[in-house]
Amino acid sequence: MTDQRTIADSKRAFHTAFPYVIPSLYRRTADELLVELHLLSHQQHFKSDALFAVGLRQVFTAFTQGYKPEKHLDELYAAICTCNGFDPEALQQLAEGSTSAVSGHTINEVREWLSNRGAGAPEPLASGISSVGGESFHYSRLMAVGLLSLLSSAQGGEPSDPDELKNLAHEIGEQLGLSKPRLDKDLSLYTSNLQKMAQAVELIEETLAAERRKRDRQVANSQASDSKTPDAQSASPDESAAEEITN
């Protein structure tokens, strides 16, 4: 897909395309995706199919929740892709189109489409998974996430039984010729890291909220203190006059 760039070359290209400081919580996500795409760019038989496109977008979106400033996210995604020779717009269109293709359809319909490598499915899903598991096929862990995400979208994005959905992903993966141990490992790691990320984001938000409340109290106390000072000063002459009268 690209010339034989080193990882250092890719990182230089990335920082040129995205010249901003990435918050520490999100650096690992950016770095891991960058390295993953770098390695895939050197694989002769790798193809950017629908499972990969959906998985990449899902992982990026899930692990950049709470990113500030939010307006940098599109640039960050594009930089991760372009520095390794991938077309971010094409991947985005394939991911969104494939997700839209399964929305509103039953799990059984989507299951049949996926199991049969897109036969009977709407475009771009049909052509997007036609080569999955073929002879010239290179697996990426992002495909496992893409498979799970498409099944989840068929249930409206909120699966009633996550374990059942995961088992279905394993079953379909086997029918496509994907390794069940690999799928199990990659999906388990994804869900585990997703929980950790959500907890980290929640902790940061709680910490920031506590700091804001603290600052608000300090400001309120300072304003209250300032408002009392003039009253005390203006009351002093009256008190002195009262003392003179009584004396």
**What are the tens digits of pLDDT across the range 187-238?**
989 988 888 887 777 777 777 778 778 888 877 777 777 766 555 444 444 4
In 3-state terms, what secondary structure has residue 139? coil
Given this model, what pLDDT does residue 199 score? 78
Please state which of the ranges 46-55, 129-138, 183-192 shows the lowest mean pLDDT.
Answer: 129-138
Q: How large a percentage of the chain has pLDDT more than 90?
A: 44
Q: Are 154 and 113 in contact (CB under 8 A)?
A: no
The pair of three-digit structure tokens given for residue 34, joined into one six-digit string: 């960058």
In 3-state terms, what secondary structure has residue 121? coil
Higher pLDDT, 89 or 222: 89
Given this model, what pLDDT does residue 200 score? 77
Is the pLDDT assigned to residue 39 strictly greater than 90? Answer: yes
Given this model, what pLDDT does residue 201 score? 75
Cα(128)–Cα(97) distance, integer angstroms: 10
Given this model, what pLDDT does residue 238 score? 46
Given this model, what pLDDT does residue 224 score? 75
Q: Are 70 and 36 in contact (CB under 8 A)?
A: no
In Å, what is the CA distance from 87 to each residue of 79, 84, 186? 10, 9, 24
Please state which of the ranges 66-80, 82-96, 110-124, 155-169 shows the lowest mean pLDDT.
Answer: 155-169
Is the pLDDT assigned to residue 35 strictly greater than 90? Answer: yes
Q: What is the pTM of this model?
A: 0.80
Given this model, what pLDDT does residue 32 score? 94
Tabulate helix, strand, coil % of the chain (nearest 5). 70, 0, 30
* Planar angle of CA 169, 173, 175, nearest 5 degrees: 120
Given this model, what pLDDT does residue 11 score? 95
Query: Which of these, 35, 230, 244, lies nearest to 140 by C-alpha position?
Result: 35
Query: Which of these, 31, 69, 37, lies nearest to 53 by C-alpha position?
Result: 37
Query: What rounded mean pLDDT belongs to the chain?
Result: 84
Given this model, what pLDDT does residue 240 score? 44
Q: Could you give the count of Cα atoms lying within 13 Å of 43 in the half-sphere of its Cβ? A: 15
Helix and strand counts by DSSP (H, E) for the chain:
10, 0
